Amino acid sequence: MKDITYKYINYKDEKFKQVMYLRYYILFEPYNKIEKYKYDDLDSISIHLVALDKDKVIGYSRMTNTNGKGKITNVLVSIEYVNRGIGFEMMKKHIIKAKEDNMSYIYLSARLDTVNFYKKVGFQCEDKVRISERSGLPLQKMYISYL
């Protein structure tokens, strides 16, 4: 979408309040596993990519660089913006950023209903499916390697 802009923000940015709401509302509330989503240990050491429609956060994803490997977490797009290419664009931006930051490998844990989306972006499946401790959902580890 041409009106959507993408921006990396710090977790102390004012827009991060919108991120916190969306993370809980989209990723956790539907599964009734936690009552409130709080900051976690990765927030302060990660880069945070937001998709904006004017001043409203409508998409979000986080990437953490650990020893040259990028861990992508909390990928989400607001329900009214799904299927408009926003998630795909965010993943492309993370791939570019990972290359710029000399990461040799990026990985994520995908819900089973999103595996095909990540395959279209270029991720491959790895290992067996595991159950998330937070959501209780089955997750598939996926990766892209630049070696």
Token output for 146: 């630049």
CA distance 27 to 75: 9
The DSSP H or E segment spanning 106 is strand 105-111
Contact present, 4 and 51 (Cβ < 8 Å): yes
* pLDDT tens digit sequence for 14-71: 998 888 878 766 666 555 555 555 556 888 899 999 999 999 999 999 999 999 999 9
- The CATH T-level fold of domain 4-145 is Aminopeptidase (3.40.630)
For 34-45, letters b (16+ CB in 10 Å) and e give eeebeeeebbee
Check pLDDT > 60 for residue 147.
no
